[in-house]
Amino acid sequence: NAGVMQNPRHLVRRRGQEARLRCSPMKGHSHVYWYRQLPEEGLKFMVYLQKENIIDESGMPKERFSAEFPKEGPSILRIQQVVRGDSAAYFCASSAAGELETQYFGPGTRLLVL
């Protein structure tokens, strides 16, 4: 059973470009979470989605960041007009309905903004 997949693993963008991070949850999981980890810090919650719905986006910056989890395909975290402060590791996690206790994490996408 494949784990949570994230791609790309590493992404380099110049200031002002767009970054698109993709996450495929574990098979059978319909809940997806995005977290951001700044250097030397713990993970910070960004957004929680179920298929086609944003359930909790309390951790998302108000501008430039958006997330979706369409009926078909992976979840996408989109960062428009990236700035250097967006450089971080972005982790996706997934859980199964009825087993929300445990979130399983993907390997993360390391975003570097030049």
Interacting residue ranges for another protein, rule: CB under 8 A: 31, 33, 35, 41-45, 48, 55-56, 58-59, 89, 91, 93, 95, 100-108, 110
Phi (first) and psi of residue 58, to 5 degrees:
-65, -20
Shortest Å distance, C-beta 11 to another protein: 14
In the bound complex, what is the minimum distance in angstroms from residue 27's beta carbon to another protein? 17
Query: Residue 110, Cα to own-chain centre: how many angstroms?
Result: 11
Q: For another protein, give the closer residue by CB, 17 or 54.
A: 54
As measured in angstroms, the least distance from the Cβ of 14 to another protein is 23
The answer to whether residues 67 and 74 touch, using CB atoms and an 8 Å cutoff, is no
Report d(CA 114, CA 111) in Å as an integer: 10
Which CB atom, from 86 or from 90, has the smaller least distance to another protein?
Answer: 90
- The DSSP call for residue 40 is T
